[in-house]
């Protein structure tokens, strides 16, 4: 472990919710909750104003609504968040070639490897500049932790929240960690925490005092050794620039259990197509198709099939997922379905396309029919009948007369839109028919408009 705090951990503050507040002037300073809005939805992110009411990520949305009934509830815009994340990651890569993203809003950076820092003073300056650059480029805030290892840098960024910077000076780690709960350490979840509590171990200091042998006895060899090292503030893990993608998957949780076997099959086909779209966006293909089914009683089944070679053909993935579904009993009802592809590669096996072509002749759906599949899966009895347009709360729209806005809500044939942009003040609210021809979906606007001639973060101009 190094003796300078040159490992940086960045964690964007309440990322999804903060992005929504920056995008929507009327929501700034107010409780905002982003996640699945159905009865079985969960909270993805809650703004700090919403956390005052006890709302937190992974909480059932129904519980969040009871705690904060007057909050703004929005459907995630992952493409929008991903575009902001790319700007932030570009700023990190200016600091060092060793950037290890953990998610859209979180990453480790080895400042020493990029020459951005070599001691505490230079590390503190690099962290402060990064926070200022993130605000200038994205309009959002991030919290920065600096320490001599990854574990401590992550703990420091948590202490820095929101919108702060904390440096853990080498030599002070044991004293800082000692009084903290064992749950502070990576790998100590609720089950491990309860196990340690029953053994009389509540703090990191008590964990260290218990000794390595006792922790191995309680938790097993690998976990016991690792936790003892962390209790002594030892973490030798390097910052790894590239984290290999092991699988690509999509899944949906349904507000009402699905009992109709035909509907289940159509949902699986739709999910397979979505999964393939994600594969192709990443420039990947895969050999192993995985089906996930969570039934009415919360029992979860997974089935997999390995193909002759990697593919990114939707018909092949649909057919494989359909075969896997045949082995699953869904008569009691289905709460969740998922389709994934693993065994990834950056090429495809050409002979599988011939296989797919043959299967299409036996009734497999063409990729262009995805919209029809979704219509039937959504319970539309007559695929030829007009389908009411759906407007997701929080998503962007444009009106021919009133300009850019976002959906506040919809129902009973009406959609309510607030017309405002990131640079405007709070806008006016208007209501339209859901099929109003002058209203259409729109792309999100940038939070910080780029001045003409100014390069994006990480972009080099000739």
Task: Report the C-alpha gap between 32 and 65 in whole angstroms.
Answer: 11
Positive or negative, the CA dihedral 65, 71, 77, 78 is negative
Cα dihedral angle (326, 330, 334, 339), rounded to 10 degrees?
A: -10
Q: Which of 49, 100, 106, 112 is catalytic?
A: 106
Cβ–Cβ under 8 Å, residues 266 and 252: no
Q: How much of the chain is in helix, strand and coil states, percent to nearest 5?
A: 35, 25, 40
DSSP state of 438: T
- Run of H or E residues at 91: helix 78-95
Q: Which one, of 422, 442, 429, lies nearest residue 28 by Cα?
A: 422
Task: Report the C-alpha gap between 52 and 67 in whole angstroms.
Answer: 10
Q: Which residues contact 290 (CB under 8 A, 6 or more apart)?
A: 247, 249, 302, 303, 304, 324, 338, 339, 340, 341, 342
Task: Report the C-alpha gap between 44 and 56 in whole angstroms.
Answer: 8
Cβ–Cβ under 8 Å, residues 418 and 24: yes
Task: Report the C-alpha gap between 253 and 183 in whole angstroms.
Answer: 29
44, two tokens:
């993805």
218, two tokens:
């309680």
Reduce the DSSP state of residue 428 to 3 states and report it.
strand
- Nearest 5°: the CA angle 211, 212, 217 is 105
342, two tokens:
């693993």
Task: Report the C-alpha gap between 263 and 245 in whole angstroms.
Answer: 31
For the question of residue 305 being annotated catalytic, the response is no
Cα dihedral angle (124, 125, 126, 129), rounded to 10 degrees?
A: 120
Catalytic residues: 106
């Amino acid at each position: 472990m190094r003796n300078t705090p040159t490992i940086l951990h960045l964690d964007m503050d309440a990322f999804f919710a903060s992005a929504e507040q920056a995008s929507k002037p009327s929501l700034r300073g107010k409780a905002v909750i982003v996640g699945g809005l159905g009865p079985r939805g969960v909270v993805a992110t809650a703004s700090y104003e919403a956390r005052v009411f006890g709302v937190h990520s992974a909480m059932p949305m129904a519980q969040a609504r009871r705690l904060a009934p007057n909050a703004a509830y929005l459907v995630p815009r992952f493409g929008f968040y991903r575009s902001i994340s790319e700007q932030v990651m570009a700023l990190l890569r200016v600091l060092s070639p060793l950037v290890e993203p953990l998610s859209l809003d979180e990453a480790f950076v080895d400042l020493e490897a990029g020459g951005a820092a070599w001691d505490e003073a230079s590390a503190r300056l690099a962290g402060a500049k990064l926070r200022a650059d993130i605000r200038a480029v994205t309009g959002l805030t991030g919290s920065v932790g600096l320490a001599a290892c990854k574990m401590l840098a992550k703990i420091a960024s948590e202490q820095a929240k929101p919108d702060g910077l904390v440096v853990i000076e080498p030599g002070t780690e044991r004293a800082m960690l000692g009084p903290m709960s064992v749950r502070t350490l990576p790998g100590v979840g609720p089950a491990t925490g309860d196990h340690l509590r029953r053994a009389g171990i509540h703090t990191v200091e008590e964990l260290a005092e218990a000794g390595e042998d006792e922790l191995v006895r309680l938790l097993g060899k690998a976990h016991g050794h690792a936790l003892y090292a962390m209790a002594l503030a030892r973490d030798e893990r390097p910052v790894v620039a590239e984290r290999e993608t092991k699988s690509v998957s999509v899944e949906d949780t349904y507000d009402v259990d699905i009992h109709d076997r035909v509907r289940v099959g159509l949902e699986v086909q739709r999910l397979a197509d979505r999964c393939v779209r994600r594969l192709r966006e990443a420039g990947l293909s895969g050999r192993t198709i995985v089906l996930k089914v969570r039934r009415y009683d919360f029992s979860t089944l997974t089935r997999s099939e390995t193909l002759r070679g990697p593919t990114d053909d939707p018909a092949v993935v649909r057919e494989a997922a359909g075969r896997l579904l045949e082995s699953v009993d869904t008569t009691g009802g289905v709460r969740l379905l998922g389709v994934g592809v693993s065994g990834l590669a950056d090429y495809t096996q050409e002979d599988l396309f011939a296989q797919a072509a043959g299967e299409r002749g036996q009734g497999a759906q063409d990729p262009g029919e995805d919209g029809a599949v979704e219509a039937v899966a959504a319970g539309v009895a007559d695929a030829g009948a007009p389908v009411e347009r759906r407007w997701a709360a929080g998503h962007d729209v444009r009106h021919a007369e009133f300009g850019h806005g976002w959906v506040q809500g919809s129902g009973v044939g009406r959609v309510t839109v607030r017309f405002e942009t990131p640079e405007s003040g709070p806008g006016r609210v208007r209501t339209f028919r859901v099929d109003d021809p002058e209203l259409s979906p729109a792309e999100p606007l940038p939070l910080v408009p780029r001045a003409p001639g100014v390069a994006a973060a990480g972009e080099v101009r000739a």
